[in-house]
Amino acid sequence: MPASPPPTPSAETRAFLLKLYETAVKAAHPSSAVPPYLPEVPEGGRILVVGAGKAAAAMAQATERHYIAKGQGDRITGFVTTRHGFKLPTEIIGVLEAGHPVPDQMSIDGARQAIELAASAGPNDLVLALMSGGASALWSAPVNGITFADKQALTKQLLRCGARISEINTVRKHLSGIKGGKLAAATYPARLITLAISDVPGDLPEAIGSGPTVADPTTLADARAVIERYKLTIPDNVAAALANPANETLKPGDPKLASATYVMVAAPKASLAAAAEVAKAAGYDVVQLGDSLEGEARDVGAEQARLALAAKARGERVAIMSGGELTVTVVGNGSGGPNQEYALGLAIALGGAPAIAGLAGDTDGIDGGGGNADDPAGALVLPDTLARAAALDLNAAKFLANNDSTGFFRSLGDLVECGPTQTNVNDFRVVLVE
């Protein structure tokens, strides 16, 4: 039987890039991140579990396995809300699926049920909130005077205008009955512990899931400023809600937060560090650009291409890594998320330079597109990306102009497709320079 041909340099590079991505994801998985921080069951009481986010199902699974193993499964109850297609089997803690990034009716039902369960906590009970990225859309409880359709329409506008996630959440908080500390208000005076997996720049508790269990430093005026900054058109009832003092969020020092504790169990920095160790072991010098980069995806891709080309000119063998959450200003009718658009911008700016390759992927396994669980996680860029595209008569610049990064990379077979990873510590990007 003839021997298999040795892998090509591109195949080896592709495999190593995927290994780095998988390492980053594994470092933040709830199965290992959650159990060390789970509290003791209170004497004479129960643990009431609520939660939301792309990692919520895996967090619930890890939580119930922990208490079942201790023989305390009958002392916990509750449910979490995750994205459609992200559900996992559980025995005790229920799992609802709801819309993301645009809320649906299940987003409303999940939020209202979470408030009701938290408010039912007795003096000996403990409310355990399992929070991860995506909760802002998955828990949607419109304030009085705002309809579900109003919130859907505004969310779509915010996603398409290029607003940063922090700006989007500032608006969401002030149109919500659960965000901005309002779940903590419903829990008070019962004890509340939040275990969180961060997907936001700076790992700010008030930004993860729009902070339903913590104080919010943003104001109604800040929310109105976002609407004005992006020149969004909103109906009169939304404008009225953003001017109503009753919709202000809880602020630091509010007594209703006195019995609330917040613990970060996984964050982007640790995932980048885990991938960096693998790269170092392979002989790369690692350049960390930080875990909280923001900006227009294509522009960041072009900037990181310039860094890679400069390192190549100096004769360096480096792995340039970064995290954060980039944005896409949609002007075309194509498909693709910020990681794929970053990768397309990177490829164009590299111009087919030899011995430089990259990967960008969302650690939740889903990078924009149709909002489906089988959307790509991101894309790979290899030294021959543009040459292969040219052979297929694909014009990279035209695909970028049409915001169709998915179409471009799908034609080349260079999408990262893994399905839901059951965690979410935002984007992972790496550029390898030989």
* Element (DSSP H or E) covering residue 154: helix 148-160
Q: pLDDT tens digits for 339-368? A: 999 999 999 999 999 999 999 999 999 997
35: nearest Cα among 67, 82, 8, 10: 67
Torsion, Cα 209 214 219 224, to 10 degrees, reads 10
261: nearest Cα among 8, 25, 39, 102: 39
pLDDT confidence of residue 8? 60
pLDDT confidence of residue 423? 93
pLDDT confidence of residue 103? 87
Q: pLDDT tens digits for 379-418? A: 999 999 999 999 999 999 999 999 999 999 999 999 999 9
pTM of the model: 0.84
Omega of the bond leading into 101 within 30 degrees of 0 (cis): yes
What residues does each domain of the chain span? Answer: 9-27+269-433, 30-266
302: nearest Cα among 162, 171, 431, 136: 431
Side by side, the strands of the sheet bearing 378-381 are: 285-288, 318-322, 427-433, 356-362, 378-381, 415-416
CATH architecture of 30-266: 3-Layer(aba) Sandwich (3.40)
For residue 293, give the DSSP letter.
B
Averaged pLDDT score across all residues of the chain: 94
Return the residue matching tokens 């194509």: 334
What is the C-alpha separation between 152 and 105, in angstroms, rounded?
10
Q: pLDDT band for position 4 (50/70/90)?
A: low
What is the C-alpha separation between 108 and 151, in angstroms, rounded?
11
Q: pLDDT tens digits for 152-199? A: 899 889 988 988 888 998 998 999 999 999 999 999 999 999 999 998
200: nearest Cα among 294, 125, 97: 294
CB atoms within 10 A of CB 248: 16
What is the C-alpha separation between 311 and 431, in angstroms, rounded?
11
- pLDDT for 7 beyond 90: no
- pLDDT for 1 beyond 70: no
21: nearest Cα among 391, 403, 363: 363
pLDDT confidence of residue 370? 65
Q: How far is CA 315 from CA 9, 17, 280, 422, in A?
A: 19, 21, 17, 39
How big is the chain, counted in residues?
434
pLDDT confidence of residue 223? 96
84: nearest Cα among 413, 353, 364: 364
For residue 193, give the DSSP letter.
E
Q: pLDDT tens digits for 17-53? A: 999 999 999 999 999 999 999 999 999 999 999 999 9
- pLDDT for 202 beyond 90: no
Average pLDDT over residues 218-227: 97
β 126-132/191-197 pair status: parallel
CB atoms within 10 A of CB 89: 7
Q: What CATH number is given for 9-27+269-433 in this structure?
A: 3.40.1480.10
pLDDT confidence of residue 9? 66
pLDDT confidence of residue 420? 92
Contact (Cβ atoms closer than 8 angstroms) between residue 413 and residue 375: no
β 76-83/94-98 pair status: parallel
Q: What percent of the chain has pLDDT over 90?
A: 87
CB atoms within 10 A of CB 231: 7
- What the block records as the tokens of 368 is 């924009």
Contact (Cβ atoms closer than 8 angstroms) between residue 139 and residue 179: yes
What is the C-alpha separation between 105 and 81, in angstroms, rounded?
12
What is the C-alpha separation between 403 and 149, in angstroms, rounded?
26
Average pLDDT over residues 363-378: 85
Average pLDDT over residues 290-302: 94
Contact (Cβ atoms closer than 8 angstroms) between residue 249 and residue 218: yes
Q: pLDDT tens digits for 238-262? A: 999 999 999 999 999 999 999 999 9
Contact (Cβ atoms closer than 8 angstroms) between residue 374 and residue 85: yes
pLDDT confidence of residue 3? 55
What is the C-alpha separation between 131 and 216, in angstroms, rounded?
16
Q: If you compute the radius of gyration of the chain from its CA atoms, what whole number of angstroms results?
A: 22
pLDDT confidence of residue 410? 97
Residue, of 120 and 100, whose pLDDT is higher: 120
Helix, strand, or coil here: 180? coil
